[in-house]
Amino acid sequence: MNLIRRPRRLRKNEPLRKMIRETRMDKSSLIYPIFVKEGANMQEEIPSMEGQYRYSVDRLPYELERLAKVGVTNVMFFGIPNEKDECGSQAYAEDGIIQQALREAKRQFPDMYYSTDVCMCEYTSHGHCGILKGKDVDNDITIELMAKIALSHAQAGADMVAPSDMMDGRVLAIRNKLDSEGFIDIPIMSYGVKYASAFYGPFREAADSTPAFGDRKTYQMDFHNKKEAIKEVLLDVEEGADIIIVKPALDYLDIVTEVSKQINVPIATYSVSGEYAMVKAGAKLGYIDENQIICEMATSAYRAGSDIYITYFAKELAKFMDEGRIG
């Protein structure tokens, strides 16, 4: 048969396949989420997220060391306080759990890069992401506190802040607050596209942040909507967002691609707790190849247009990159 075009020529062996690979990844683009809890000598496994833990500040350096050894140098802290109240005051307290974690992490591992989740759901007694006015979250009062939280994180040593509340105008409020206090070089990685998703279930157990009533659909986005995502990211970029997060990742890769066509700032995708839990559960039952699935999920995010991948599988992916299985 006289075939001029034979695409299989470029699939003949591994060196050639790697040479022409369209999607490339690097460990420097991985961010690992870490849950930090008040207390001492604690490393509690999260029941719905096998292999993930809540760390007390004194145990945190052991996990940072494990990350550093495999080449994962970017982390994002989520805090779990002992005390909660209606206004989430521990979120911006000088001795809050995130603030403590940042100071200790910076002291022991100063070369790692520390992002922080800026939100109130883990700190409020009602579990919502802001200050309530009746049964609804008051947008404008909440963004004032979001700015206060971001500033407290920067003062404690955060390299980047990541507001995840989805309040209108919070990026501008944070940018103005940081700039007015001299933190002009602290980037904002905004959860610009955060859908109201069932994929967050295990996280809410991990962070003890399930709403006491109702849901978050008045501030997180309807998963039916694509144009709304573009509107949100354009607003955030205009307000000063340096990086945009799309969350969740796996079921929203079409959104990642659409967003990548519209903005000229880096895009992060957050492979959330439900994605992690499904892989772990499927592998435990013997239904899937866990390692291969991890690699495929990550590659799909980058292929869709992601520059940064926030994932609970960061350590595994770093190992696979070293082995040449992905990257």
80 lies in some domain: yes
For the segment 155-194, what is each residue's pLDDT rounded down to a tens digit?
Answer: 999 999 999 999 999 999 999 999 999 999 999 999 999 9
Q: How many domains does the chain have?
A: 1
The rounded distance, in Å, linking the Cα atoms of 79 and 98 is: 5
Any domain includes 196: yes
Active site members: 194, 247
Q: How many CA atoms lie within 13 A of 15 on its CB side?
A: 0
Q: Which of 8-17, 137-146, 208-217, 266-275 has the lowest mean pLDDT?
A: 208-217
pLDDT at 216 over 90: no
Q: Does residue 12 sit within a domain?
A: no
Tokens of 316: 């595994």
Residue 70 inside a domain? The answer is yes
Task: Tell me how crowded residue 147 is: count the other CB atoms within 10 A of its CB.
Answer: 25
Q: What pLDDT sits at residue 313?
A: 98
- Residue 152 within any structural domain of the chain: yes
CATH code for the domain in which residue 123 is found: 3.20.20.70
Range of the domain at 57: 24-320
Higher-confidence residue of 76 and 210: namely: 76
Residue 215 pLDDT > 90: no
The verdict on residue 18 lying in a domain is no
* Residue 307, number of CB atoms within 10 A of its CB: 15
Region 200-220: mean pLDDT is 74
The C-alpha atoms of residue 273 and residue 91 are separated, in whole angstroms, by 22
Model confidence band, residue 219 (pLDDT cutoffs 50, 70, 90): confident
Distances (CA, A) of 118 to 77, 99, 178: 9, 12, 13
Q: Is residue 159 a part of any domain in this protein?
A: yes
Model's pTM, two decimal places?
0.94
The single residue listed with the structure tokens 């291969």 is 292
The torsion defined by the Cα of 205, 206, 212 and 214, in degrees rounded to 10, comes to -70
Mean pLDDT of 267-279: 96
Q: Which residue's entry shows tokens 């992490």?
A: 105
In this prediction, residue 247 carries a pLDDT of 96
Residue 1 belongs to some domain of the structure: no
